[in-house]
Structure 1
Amino acid sequence: MADLILDWNTKINLISRNPPPTKDHVLNRHILPSVALLNTNLLPSPLSPTSSIKVADVGTGGGFPGLPLAISCPESDFTLIDSVNKKLVAVKSMADTLGLKNVRVHHGRAEEMKLAPSDRFDLILGRSVSSLPNFCSWVSPLLSPSGKLLYIKGGDLGEETRVEPRARVPISTLAGIPDVSDKDALLFTYDDVKRIAGEFKPK
């Protein structure tokens, strides 16, 4: 997958080009932090290599964390969502090249998606897409009442929300590699997401 990312990154900006990324950079800064989310001993997420759930990666960009997780969890169905179509073209091409039958892409904004209750997601992923209240206001209608939000971000949550995550684990701890990421994995329930969404104040 790292080779595919590097090849596509010469055509469109999937990951930062400054400095020019290497294969080790893609592995250590993007792929490993994504797969680290499967460390359920530290992070009580419903996602595992044997789980069969519906997952949405909102604001997937270059396919992170959705693509590495889809490779690792072939029994779960992944919908990778982004408003930038050219990035989704790259993501879909990489998924096809990797033979991933459990990945589909959706071009558009999450807040504009309409889902029947039976189609809502068991797990929603996001990686520093927006502030938590903003993000939760987008995705709360897409999440199953029994579902979870797994959000990756750093910094002080107190500046964004009064709701404490059910779990907060540094990505470096999950991966077992110091300094692989300066961000944390935050786990919230459906009720938490609704409460955080209620804190969103449109400008």
Structure 2
Amino acid sequence: AEAYAVQVKGQEVPMHEPRLKRGLGIGYAVSPTGADHCHNLHDTIMFGLNLEKLRPFGVLREVPVESLGGEKVRMYKYWMEMRVLANCLCLCQFTPWRFIEYVDLVRAVTGWDVSLFELVKVAERTLNLARLFNLREGFTSADDWLPPRFFQPQTSGPLSETAVNPSHLRRAIGLFYEMMGWDRDGVPLPGTLHELDIGWAVEHLPERGIERVIV
């Protein structure tokens, strides 16, 4: 039955196909809510206006759809964080806001002189706390993976000769952990939590036989 249950962390996979959109596959695997297409990267639309949205993060050029290299992981991380921020701000996913315009929106509504840097930190805190919640509930890095069906081509059609390479995916997930400031098991490092000003959460890290620095 497991071979036919196309799900990640108990969440069924949406219609979007990671055998085509490889960055989306990273997102399905590492998302705290399982296979989710909303706070995720859709590789096939990452050009033009969408690519321009990432300019403040230094992402200036397109990355091949089929890539699972470091540039794709970096693109996924920044794009996903902005989608998580949009969820925090209760923004419609279909409104084509530039990410820098999120700053203007928050300033207008709250009167706070916030920066894009501060809003990125909101997304990073959200993701790290969600990670800690999942770790507490028994999820591990073993759950950051795709259903086996995606490692095989479709039986017919345009994706009948392509599939996700598991070793490339494993390497991409490892790079994502490092970019997030997590260890090789996907556990946030104490320094990461302190940098995000949620040092209190260090007490909720799973035991790893390391000295925790609680300030």
TM-score, with length taken from structure 1: 0.29
User: What's the TM-score once normalised by structure 2's chain length?
Assistant: 0.28
Higher relative contact order (CA 8 A, sep 6+): 2
Larger Rg: 2
Larger strand share, 1 or 2 = 1
